[in-house]
Structure formats: C-alpha cells, structure tokens
Homo-oligomer: A and B are copies of this chain.
C-alpha cells in the first residue's frame, strides 16, 4: 500500500492525517501493558496512518477510503482500555474520534453526545444540572464516552446499575457501517447490544445516548479492618443495605493500600481497606454499620467540597492495578467474575499467599450483589499465570481473561450469534479492527 498516497488523498478531503512514526506508535497503544502477555503479543503493532475525525462526515470519508482500498480500520478514543482494544493488529488506519467532542444535548436524565466527549467533562456538566453518569470508570477524567461504550463495561455506580450491558444503561447508539455505501444506523435499546463492548469491530459509533442518574450529595470514606474476612463481610453487608445508598464499594486487601502513595499517611501495614462512596444523607447509618462491623473509618471527605485531598474513584477499578504497577511493574492482575463466597476467597488466599492480593469490587448483577475480583498477581512467567487462572476456574471462580486481546477469549460466555451476525452485516469485508472479535 502506498501510504503516502492514501494520506494525501485523505488530507485532500480536509482530514488531519498523522504519519510521524512516534505519534503513530503512541496512538496505536493503550494500557495493555497491564499484561506482560499482551505486551509481548502486541509489540510492534502499529497503524500505518492515524486519521483524526472531527465530524461524522469526516468519519465517512475515512470509511470510503478504507473500503475502496481494503484497508483495516481501528477506531480509538483516549486509549484507556487495557486489553489492546484499539491496537491495530494488522496495521492500516487508526481512526481517532476524540476530536468529535460535541455534547449534542444534555437534559434532565439524558445525555446525547459524540464519541470523543470526555466522561469527566460530561459528568461535570451533568452535575451542574443535578445529574450524573450511572457508570463511570476510574479513567473517566481522560476516557471518552465512545471508548467507554466500545471497550469498557462498568465502574463506579456498578453497585446500583450493574454494567453497560444491562438494558437501559445505553439508550441508543448511532453507528456507521463499513460498506462501500456506508449506512447510518440508529440502534435503540436491544438493537444496540451487539455494539456495546464490541471493541469497534461492528460499526463506528458516532453518537451515544446515555441515561443519567440523579446526583446525590456523596461522601467518600476508607474503612480499615484488621482482617480480610471482616473487610469482605462489611463490604457485602453495606452493599446489601437497602436504606444506605452507595455508589462505590471496593475491598483493597493487605498489602494493596501500600501502593496508594497519596494516602500513605492513613495506612497501617497489615490493614485491609474498604473504600466507599456513600450518600451523605445516610452517613449516620453508615458509621453505625462500620462500627458494628468493627471497622474504623480512617479517612473521610466530601468530594463536592473545594480542595479535596484525593479522588477516591482513582484508587479503584483499573486504577488499583495502575497505581500498584506504578510502584512495582512486576505486578499484573486477573478478572474474576465472580468470587462465589468468602470461603472461596480464603481458599485462594491459602493457595497463593503473597502471589496474589485481593482487590474486589462490589457489583450488582441481575439484582444480586456480587464480588468481582481484580486481584493483583505477582508475575513470574506465562505458564505460572495460566496455572493460577486454571486453579481459580477449578474452584469455580470464573476468570474473564484480561491477558487476551480477543473479545471472545476474554468473555466468560461465548459471543452471542446475534453479535456475529451483526458483524457480517455491518462489516462485510472484515475491515473493522480485524482479529479482535474472535481469535
């Protein structure tokens, strides 16, 4: 392929095209370095061109060019995913939609946005109207809405709203098909399901409608426990309180809190933390519950107040792994959906001792509170990692493998046939992020 000619062609249509190798490399990566396996597998994968689109019309121009020349096209937002979602396995063009930053409408309970809108900016504007996003990943300050819907699944708010897959949590998506005559499909409700968490393999999202949650006055806190069992019991107890509204409940087992350097003054070695964002309206009931569970509230702050010390969500979800790896790059992680109970966790603790550390997020899944595991793992080699995962599976602690770039490989269930059918329909030449849907 004559990439200079393609670049010239696109530039002639007014598009911003990046040819600089360093910039292309930067815009061909995400946080897949969380996984030493993916780091190896994705090494050197790089776009031949990066194209920035500021509008749907510009995105269509890129589609036309790619279909005409049978060029693979991989869409990216801010690149905060961690399974190589936006890494172009076969090179070709990376289409960066982050310039599509228009908030089309923001009304009570509903936001319509272009894919490049940053979650943090949308959250901030929604808050000014008394609303907030239902689900927010720990990367929200930089992540885009389109990237979250394409590559993410949940985050803060999971204790109430579950995941992006739950009907209602994405109201509609507008996607462009990868055809010689691109169609603009408006997929509302169930019809949008094949595109959610689809890694951009089945349509290019140009508009997203999300429901909003009413904003409550929140309070952030860290509750410390002398043993892991007590921390887990409290987290479950809190999650199942119907009169205490929470928005985030995580367990950070010893010694994970040592990696939270901006909270180091609060950490006593040996302690296990439960980190929460809870309604300030229910604060008294929360403190009484912590006390009766023998937990000690060692940190609290009003996140709405000016001059807050830290941002609690930025210690949780994928940020836990990020912070731990910033201090010890030999660490990696797993995804356990879900730990069945405390006993299973204690069995795993005995089995692997210092080799794993328990980071658990409370999530509501089909109405039931679940213990979603994101344990940190001290990496030695790939075989040992496989062994650890197999031991989890054997005990019934199902693994969603974060060490694979394929959607099918990372899922706990086979991909639905409807998703594969949809793929064939919207991307007949298999040009969208090829190699990511199935192995």
Q: Which residue numbers of A lie inside 8 Å of B, CB to CB?
A: 108-110, 130, 134, 160-163, 166-169, 171, 188-190, 211-212, 214-217, 239-245, 279-282, 284-286, 288-289, 364-369
Contact = CB atoms under 8 A, between A and B. Distances in A.
B285 A168 contact: yes
Contacts of A214: 130, 214-216
Contacts of A288: 167, 189-190
Contacts of A108: 217
A188 B171 CA distance: 41
6 contacts: A160-B242, A167-B289, A168-B245, A189-B288, A211-B243, A242-B365
Contact of A168 (B110, B162, B212, B241): B241
How many copies the complex holds: the figure is: 2
A240 B366 contact: yes
A153 to B, nearest CB: 13
Given A189-B285, A211-B282, A281-B109, A168 B367 contact: no
B244 A110 contact: no
B366 A167 contact: no
A166 B110 CA distance: 31
A242 B213 CA distance: 12
Instruction: Output the residue of A211, A286, A364 with the most chain B CB within 10 A.
Output: A211
B162 A367 contact: no
A5 to B, nearest CB: 46
For the complex of A and B, the 10 pairs showing the least CB-CB separation, nearest first, are A240-B367, A162-B242, A168-B243, A214-B214, A166-B243, A168-B285, A169-B243, A167-B285, A168-B282, A168-B244
Contact of A161 (B130, B243, B286, B364): B243
Nearest to A171: B284
A219 to B, nearest CB: 12
Given A211-B281, A284-B171, A162 B243 contact: yes
Given A189-B288, A239-B367, 18 more contacts: A108-B217, A130-B214, A163-B242, A167-B288, A167-B289, A168-B241, A168-B245, A171-B281, A189-B284, A211-B279, A211-B282, A212-B281, A214-B216, A240-B366, A240-B367, A240-B368, A241-B367, A242-B367
A128 to B, nearest CB: 14
A242 B161 contact: yes
A348 B242 CA distance: 29
Contacts of A215: 214
A346 to B, nearest CB: 22
Nearest to A291: B190
Given A108-B217, A216-B109, A364 B168 contact: no
A214 B109 CA distance: 12
Nearest to A368: B368
Contacts of A280: 109
A108 B188 CA distance: 34
Given A162-B242, A241-B367, A366-B242, A217 B281 contact: no
A145 to B, nearest CB: 17
A217 B364 contact: no
B366 A367 contact: no
A244 B109 contact: no
A4 B241 CA distance: 51
A238 to B, nearest CB: 10
Nearest to A284: B189
Contact of A167 (B110, B211, B241, B364): B241
Contacts of A281: 109-110, 168, 171, 211-212
Contacts of A366: 240-242
B282 A242 contact: no
Contacts of A365: 242
